[in-house]
A and B are shown apart, each in its own frame.
Chain A
Amino acid sequence: MPKPKISTDWMCGCAGCHMSLLDIDERILKIAELADIRATPITDLKEPDESGVDVGVLEGGINNTANEEVAHRMRKRCKILVALGDCAVFGGVPAMRNFFTLEETLRRAYIETESTDSEGKIPSDPELARMTRVRAVHEVVPVDIFVPGCPPDPDVIYYVLSELAQGRKPELKGELLHWH
């Protein structure tokens, strides 16, 4: 039987959940033994295989049109979707942006900030994504497994990935469901 394929991506988060994944240290070798690690932000494949992957992991919420595409593509191509970390599960710290209008947030950053010169303007280009409200992943696509934490503890991430890689559904409860 071929090894299950895992693909990950990050959206509106801070990369800290992927760092916590790397914080499983030498156990990354065990994961690589159990599963085939495909497209991730730290490998060079650019997107999850069109033929599909078994497990898709998304870090971060969704705050622009590019992230919407990432979430839909991952959902379409994976069997089990994991929302990793508080931003993916709830929206997290970046969702504080929802208390303001997009316009005033962009104006502050690109026009009003004291170090921005007099030619400041809100970037606008066909190459750039359009900003939206910040949403948790499940507000955009259905999620199968929720792993909260900022970031989730490396032991929890290892447990989730190793269970999924062995075809079992991780049960997140008790000590595994703590977050700080």
Chain B
Amino acid sequence: MVAEKITIEPVTRIEGHAKVTIHMGDDGRVSRAFFHVNEFRGFEKFCEGRMVFEMPYITPRICGICPVSHHLAAAKAGDVVLGAPPPRPASLLRELMHMGQIVQSHGMHFFELAGPDLLLGFDADPAIRNVLGIVQANPDLAVKAVGLRKWGQTIIATLGGKRVHPNFAVPGGVNKALHPSERDLILQGLASSIETIQVGIAIIRGWAERNMEDIQKFAVFPTGYMGLITPENGLELYDGQIRLIDRNGDQLERFSAQNYLDVISEHVEDWSYLKFPYYKKMGWPQGVYRVGPLGRLNISDKVDTPLANEEFQRFKALNNGKPVENTLYYHYARMIECLFAAERVQVLLDDPDILSTDILNTRTEIKGEGVGVIEAPRGTLLHHYWTDEHGQIKKVNLIVSTGHNNWAMSQAVDSVAKTYVQGPKVTEGMLNRVEAAIRAYDPCLSCSTHAVGQMPMVVDVFDPQGNLVQTIHRGL
């Protein structure tokens, strides 16, 4: 057995460009695996010189899967820069759009991106291991999944004119009020959406029971956890303070996004275009933490909607109230959040202020600096702008959801490769598990490098002299 390097490129069913290299030792076992993010666009530079009110329209082009996150984070940073806090109805409407996005993004990830692994199996034929394979295997479920995503997208389009890259939030508020007929249109789809989400929850719970051995050995490791939180430690996706806990669940920090630079630093490695954020006071790499669905449920003590809270209690019991460390439980956490978001739509639409036309604060007292924060589907998103006295952008700093999970994804890739990949005959199914480790985090690599990419898969096998011995094209 000779030492080899295996390259997985591109990784599929994730958003963005990445590849994995697996370095094999002489004994046929994995010595180390790397997760490389292979794209860079440069929004932090080329937004310089634009006006702050353009940012909610430029920055969503970072990511077409969660454009609403960037749209709203940019508008929220603009609120602070312009000194124009939005009226309550505008905040409710922004949150409503955000819940639409959580539903469509989480729903799509669960059923259409990760679903093929769960429903068809990690070792299924890669030619059918995709959403169309689900259409074949379970057409009824596929139609429901399409309907769920459609409902989430309809909420976004109803408020912002179109499904991807809507035009809605502006610094100081939003540009359109909600008509009662539009409220009713959204409400029509609520019950069936909740039903589909509950089908998803039943699927992941059943899958977890049948695959407990995998759950317990698939990339389980301690980290800190971070996300927005309500004043009473409830799950929060739109606004509030940021809570950071350690691996035991004890609070390390509770801070306003305006002060994130005191808490978070980013590390750079040569082998990835994606930076590695960490908790400044603990240093790199001791201060690593995870965000996104698992991180948010781990920092929360409760969920403020009844159905999601019931499910949340089951989640909390998985590790007796301590943080849940299993990468595969991201899927479960994601569907619990999806349920919360759907229930939250009802709460927002029942609010008497939701139809108000008091939707814009036109005051302009330019402060020259502001931070916008939101919980994007994939985790905490921070936009930080500095402007001149006219609101023209001088500098931009972005810390994007998927970035916070970069260390964890790298760790998960290394861990799963060591657990499941073994020579001399490396199978496609083994490598798909490595990809699934990344997929569990639902990374958005366009977001994270403010760039976009994809992970397909070619395996090159090299001998120790670096000569290409064999190339395996997965699934072709």
Could you tell me which A residues sit within 8 Å of B by CB distance? 9-20, 22-23, 25-26, 28-29, 32, 37, 39, 41-47, 49-50, 60, 63-64, 66, 92-94, 96-97, 99-100, 104-106, 108-110, 113-117, 119-121, 123-125, 127-129, 131, 150-151, 153-154, 180
The 6 closest A-B CB pairs, nearest first, are: A16-B64, A46-B456, A43-B130, A105-B42, A44-B126, A93-B61
Nearest B residue to A44 via CB reads: B126
Nearest B residue to A126 via CB reads: B271
Residues on the B chain within 8 Å of A123, using CB: 268-273
Nearest A residue to B403 via CB reads: A115
Q: Which of B12, B65, B149, B452 is close to A46, meaning CB atoms less than 8 Å apart? A: B12
Give 1 or 0 for each of B143-163: 1 = CB within 8 Å of chain A CB. 100110110010000000111
Residues on the B chain within 8 Å of A127, using CB: 19, 21, 34, 36, 38, 271
- Quick check: which of B108-116, B220-228, B416-424 contacts chain A, the rest being far away? B108-116
Task: Given A19-B65, A46-B474, answer yes or no on A99-B46 (Cβ-Cβ < 8 Å).
Answer: yes
Kindly state the separation between the CA atoms of A18 and B108 in the bound complex, as whole angstroms: 12
Contact call B19/A44, Cβ cutoff below 8 A: no
Nearest B residue to A60 via CB reads: B452
Q: Which of B64, B284, B474 is close to A44, meaning CB atoms less than 8 Å apart? A: B474
Contact call A43/B131, Cβ cutoff below 8 A: yes
**Interface residue B378 (Cβ < 8 Å from any Cβ of A):** no
Contact call A20/B164, Cβ cutoff below 8 A: yes
Q: Which of A15, A45, A125 is close to B126, meaning CB atoms less than 8 Å apart? A: A45
Residues on the B chain within 8 Å of A120, using CB: 266, 268
Contact call B452/A12, Cβ cutoff below 8 A: yes
> Taking the nearest CB of chain A, how far is it from the CB of B366, in angstroms?
20
> Taking the nearest CB of chain A, how far is it from the CB of B45, in angstroms?
4
Nearest B residue to A102 via CB reads: B42
Contact call B265/A180, Cβ cutoff below 8 A: no
The binding surface of chain A is classed by DSSP as: loop
Residues on the B chain within 8 Å of A104, using CB: 45
Contact call A113/B127, Cβ cutoff below 8 A: no
Task: Given A12-B452, A45-B476, A93-B61, answer yes or no on A154-B116 (Cβ-Cβ < 8 Å).
Answer: no
Knowing that A29-B142, A46-B12 are A-B contacts, what are 13 other residue pairs whose CB atoms are under 8 Å apart, sorted by A's residue number? A15-B444, A25-B146, A42-B112, A43-B131, A44-B432, A46-B475, A47-B456, A66-B38, A96-B47, A113-B44, A114-B261, A125-B270, A129-B39
Task: Given A22-B108, A116-B268, answer yes or no on A10-B116 (Cβ-Cβ < 8 Å).
Answer: no
Contact call A25/B150, Cβ cutoff below 8 A: yes
Kindly state the separation between the CA atoms of A105 and B116 in the bound complex, as whole angstroms: 38
Kindly state the separation between the CA atoms of A174 and B270 in the bound complex, as whole angstroms: 49
Residues 30-72 (chain B) with a chain A CB within 8 angstroms: 34, 36, 38-42, 44-47, 58, 60-65, 67
Residues on the A chain within 8 Å of B16, using CB: 15
**Interface residue B314 (Cβ < 8 Å from any Cβ of A):** no
Q: Which of A12, A100, A153 is close to B46, meaning CB atoms less than 8 Å apart? A: A100
Nearest A residue to B132 via CB reads: A32
Nearest B residue to A127 via CB reads: B36
Residues 270-289 (chain B) with a chain A CB within 8 angstroms: 270-273, 275, 277, 284
Nearest B residue to A121 via CB reads: B268
Contact call B270/A121, Cβ cutoff below 8 A: yes
**Interface residue B458 (Cβ < 8 Å from any Cβ of A):** yes
Contact call A23/B127, Cβ cutoff below 8 A: no
**Interface residue B202 (Cβ < 8 Å from any Cβ of A):** no
Contact call B146/A116, Cβ cutoff below 8 A: no
Nearest A residue to B150 via CB reads: A25
> Taking the nearest CB of chain A, how far is it from the CB of B186, in angstroms?
16
Contact call B113/A42, Cβ cutoff below 8 A: yes
Nearest A residue to B113 via CB reads: A42
Kindly state the separation between the CA atoms of A106 and B46 in the bound complex, as whole angstroms: 11
Kindly state the separation between the CA atoms of A114 and B34 in the bound complex, as whole angstroms: 27
